[in-house]
Amino acid sequence: MKPAPLDEFPVHQTPLSMAQVSTSDRNFYDRNYFNAHDRSGEVFLVTGFGVYPNLGVIDAFATVRHGDAQRSVRFSDALESRSTESVVGGYRIEVVEPLRSLRVVCEHEDLSMDLRWEGSFEAVLEERHILMDGPRTMLDASRFAQVGSWSGMLNVDGEDFVVDPAVWLGTRDRSWGIRPSGAPDPQERFAEEPREGFWWTYIPLRFDDFALVIILQESPDGHRSLNHASRVFADGRIEQLGWPRMEVDYRAGARHPEHVRVHLTTPLGEPLLLEIDTLLGIPLSMGSGYVGDPAWSHGRWMGRDWSESVSYDMTSPDVTAMLPYNVVDHVARARCNGAEGWGMFEHANMGRHDPSGFKDWVDMAK
């Protein structure tokens, strides 16, 4: 094995070369995620880039929903060596200033962009994320999140969007660790004893004077296995906001969250009421490569120098039938004790979830 370019820098954390990660788990990953919107609820971008050292794969995607149309392009290639460069096919990420400013470029005839990210507040390191499936560890990862603004250009199917930082906002995260990647692991026992449900909520929001980052995960009986709620101020102060209590108004006949109330508590015991209305949404298994996409998923070997472009009619019966079984990223318009904010409401409520009143995978809101 050859040394990696990263071996030139004093960043080692194990006796191994930086060409290797400290675990032999095939599902180790290292990923960027971004979203962007113009606060109109008419256009929404979700994009990301990942490397999978133990699978020898590198890939990226960009997905834009405009009204009822959604366009996705993705790139994949062999990962030859880990380095500071984040490039695959026509996609690249440039770190202009760590933890503050980045450039994201996608070059494809159906979807192109050249965008500059500027963080509005300090990045927040979230609680370590662990998800178990019986005795099996499905996910064990770390992540930091940040809210900010975008500038530059975006073109989707021949239509130009001028990305003005006074209007265009978004959130991003960097995560790394173990999560299902590439070809599915053998299920064996777990194919006969599937999980009863999956409940997940992730809410990064930007206000004028502060940012909120909330991340919650619960088992079917309502036991909370991950709880993070923090408020970040411009001077870098971070305060914890306790144990959030969340109420979701779902659309009748579906599991689409229309309005959300999150009850938070400051360190002094003062209540904070966060209210969220969801606007445009992107289901992450349609074009973005997250779990459930039948055509392409993160870390999957597609061959060298592979690229693909797909489009979706978000009103088609095939799409709407799958929405209750998706993690969906929504543009979020929020109010917190009178202040207005914008960001993302990422949510999944699949299968049984006792606090929501859902009994099984086909039960929908009344």
pLDDT band (50, 70, 90) for residue 190? low
Q: Residue 64 and residue 87: Cα distance in Å, rounded? A: 20
Question: How many separate domains does the chain show?
Answer: 1
Span 22-78, pLDDT tens digits:
888 889 999 999 999 999 999 999 999 999 999 999 999 999 999 999 999 999 999
pLDDT at 64: 98
In a domain? residue 362:
no
In a domain? residue 5:
no
Q: Residue 319 and residue 316: Cα distance in Å, rounded? A: 5
Judge if pTM exceeds 0.85: yes
- The answer to whether the CB of 323 falls within 8 A of the CB of 330 is no
The type of residue at 130 is I
Count other C-beta atoms under 10 Å from residue 146's C-beta. 26
Span 301-345, pLDDT tens digits:
999 999 999 999 999 999 999 999 999 999 999 999 999 999 999
In a domain? residue 6:
no
pLDDT at 71: 98
In a domain? residue 363:
no
In a domain? residue 265:
yes
> What are the tokens at 361?
């995978």
- C-alpha separations of 54 from 14, 22, 90, 91, 179 in Å: 16, 10, 23, 22, 12
Q: What is the residue range of 309's domain?
A: 26-183+190-356
In a domain? residue 147:
yes
CATH of the domain at 79: 2.40.370.10
Averaged pLDDT of the chain: 93
Q: Residue 163 and residue 149: Cα distance in Å, rounded? A: 9
- The answer to whether the CB of 107 falls within 8 A of the CB of 90 is yes
Rounded mean pLDDT of 64-93?
95
Q: Cβ neighbours of residue 47 under 8 Å, at least 6 residues apart?
A: 33, 34, 35, 60, 61, 62, 63, 104, 106, 113
Query: Nearest Cα to 212, choosing from 232, 239, 235?
Result: 232
In a domain? residue 60:
yes
pLDDT at 152: 98
pLDDT higher than 80, residue 366: yes
For residue 309, the SS3 value is strand
Span 277-300, pLDDT tens digits:
999 999 999 999 998 787 899 999
pLDDT at 164: 97
- The answer to whether the CB of 62 falls within 8 A of the CB of 91 is yes
Helix (H) / strand (E) element for 191: namely helix 189-192
In a domain? residue 1:
no
More confident residue, 64 or 141: 64
